[in-house]
Structure 1
Amino acid sequence: MHCQPDHKHQVYIWLKNEQSCLICDEATDSRDCVCNVCETELPWLREHCEVCALPLPMDGLICGQCLKQPPAFKHVITPWTYSFPVDSLISRFKHQARWPFGQLLARLLGHHVQHRFDNTGLARPDCLLPVPMARQRLRERGYNQAVMLARWLSEHLGIVVEEHLLLRPHETVAQQALDAKTRKRNLLSAFALAPDARVQGRHFALVDDVLTTGATAHSLARLLINAGARQVDVYCLARTPKPGT
């Protein structure tokens, strides 16, 4: 699409010249353009499921759904719950093309993932895979926010992005309005691999903005695992507190 590729220079210059917090508009010296107070008060995800990152009362547990029906992905890595102000920042980035908000969140996500690499033994993937968007929806929106997030994460983490390995050849109903069971049915055969995709033995990380039920991530991870992938993780900006909400 004309308005999606290579806008990083415009966004980068805007961020470098704006010395105020993108959340509260107060002055800040942070290169991330978020002041210490606002960064501290973001809805950081604390205790959560070790697999799908669902918020839980205690840490080190696996939720009932993951125990009953283990997903095809191994870990979900996300810094926040989907609540204010992160939900507002994501919405403005995703639906209003406010790309500086997306770059701010992607940079903080990059810090979070790098911390997990350095301090928890999280394995680095071979490449990042943005969740694909169907052609009709891409034409309507003009850009895929997951692709933009993956590009920014790639710059921060030094991990290559393969934007065209995953395909979404079939149009599906928008996931936001569907419950968990309907989401799974909606995604049957929705995704495919590119004809020249190299999958065998590789470790992938799917990149998306929000994980709700995990149906999309599971469908993509299952496709990759069935094609011979060694491991699939998920990197996203936020996790909803309850599936289907």
Structure 2
Amino acid sequence: MRTAVQPRLDAAWQALRRWLGATLLPAQCALCGAGCPELLCPPCRAQYLESGRGQARPRCRQCANPLAGIDVAQLCGRCLRQRPAYDATVTAFDYAPPVDQLLLQLKFGARLALAPLFAQLLHVAIQQQTAWDAPQLLCPVPLGPARLAERGFNQALEIARPLARLLDVPLQPRLALRVRETRAQSGVAPQERQANLARAFAIAPEHGALLQGCHVGIVDDVMSSGHTVNALATACKSAGAARVSILAVARTPPH
């Protein structure tokens, strides 16, 4: 007879098997599968960096959507019409091939060794900012308990750990809680995504004092519509944060 905890045990075992397979099998390039001692073989790394470099184009300083002009200090039309709760966004890449495949390997293939690589590339993008105001602490976008149990790890936290070390900024992995299980944004119609995230996040009571007048850096793997990070930024601002910056590995270009 299966107990109430058996599904979670099964999910944990599957996550462990994926992790063991990713770490104990001979090293392979994450893109082409060729044998190599690094995550990416030299040809793929060159193609990856050249095709995925996100700071080669002007971006809105608030949401990081591409801009048609050359003034990197300006805001896009969407942010001018309705300012989001967060104050700035830094991204390393557009969410497009081959970056999307690498992020999917991390998120759904449990290839956790990719997380430090993403942190390094995001750190490079941060260093390229002309006016960078470093946050006082980092907070990864939290997963709900059910999704965390199913996946076995939080990809945003895996990226935030090495990024915090590179930035020399404290990491607060339990600062925010996802208090309401939500549907995956990728499976929600665009017009329903904001409502799907309404009141989904809360600040842990024991950490509320940290946010008073604080600059928070929210770390995520992919920023698409921006509703997820905006909901979390709203929770941070409501708890007393003075400024919120989004640090996302990839940004989905608007269609």
The reply on whether 1:42 has 2:76 as its aligned counterpart is: no
Deviations 1:8-36 (A, max 9, x none): xxx9x99xx96x865455879xx885646
Pairing partner for 1:87 from 96, 100, 123: 100
What TM-score comes out, normalization by structure 1 length?
0.83
Question: What is aligned with 1:7?
Answer: none
Unaligned runs of 5+ in 2: 1-7, 16-21
Deviations 1:66-85 (A, max 9, x none): 11110011111001100000
Deviations 1:178-233 (A, max 9, x none): 23331110111111110112210110000000111111111111111122111000
Pairing partner for 1:97 from 110, 114, 139: 110
| TM-superposed deviation, 1:111 | 2.0
**Distance in 2 separating the partners of 1:216 and 1:240:** 13
Contact 1:211 1:236 (8 Å CA) reproduced:
yes
| TM-superposed deviation, 1:109 | 1.1
What is the SS of the residue equivalent to 1:196?
helix
| TM-superposed deviation, 1:37 | 2.2
Matches within 5 A, 1:1-245: 22-23=30-31, 25=34, 35=42, 37-45=46-54, 46-60=57-71, 61-116=74-129, 120-197=130-207, 198-242=210-254
Corresponding letter in the other structure for 1:145? Q
What is the SS of the residue equivalent to 2:116?
helix
Superposition CA RMSD, Å: 2.6
What is the SS of the residue equivalent to 1:42?
helix
Contact 1:32 1:107 (8 Å CA) reproduced:
no
Which range is displaced more, 145-154 or 176-185?
176-185
Question: What is aligned with 1:8?
Answer: none
Q: Based on CA coordinates, which of the two structures has the bigger radius of gyration?
A: 2
Corresponding letter in the other structure for 1:80? F
Contact 2:39 2:114 (8 Å CA) reproduced:
no
- Kindly tell me the number of residue pairs found equivalent between the two proteins: 229
The structure-2 alpha-carbon separation of the partners of 1:204 and 1:34, relative to structure 1 and needing over 3 Å to count, comes to farther
Corresponding letter in the other structure for 1:190? A
What TM-score comes out, normalization by structure 2 length?
0.80
Indicate the structure with greater helix content. 2
**Distance in 2 separating the partners of 1:40 and 1:86:** 9
Unaligned runs of 5+ in 1: 5-10
Contact 2:31 2:101 (8 Å CA) reproduced:
no
**Distance in 2 separating the partners of 1:231 and 1:140:** 33
Corresponding letter in the other structure for 1:163? P
Corresponding letter in the other structure for 2:88? H
User: What percent of counterpart residues are identical?
Assistant: 36
What is the SS of the residue equivalent to 2:59?
coil
Contact 2:48 2:98 (8 Å CA) reproduced:
no
The structure-2 alpha-carbon separation of the partners of 1:155 and 1:176, relative to structure 1 and needing over 3 Å to count, comes to same
**Distance in 2 separating the partners of 1:73 and 1:157:** 20
The structure-2 alpha-carbon separation of the partners of 1:232 and 1:21, relative to structure 1 and needing over 3 Å to count, comes to same
Contact 2:48 2:99 (8 Å CA) reproduced:
no
Corresponding letter in the other structure for 1:219? A
**Distance in 2 separating the partners of 1:22 and 1:135:** 29
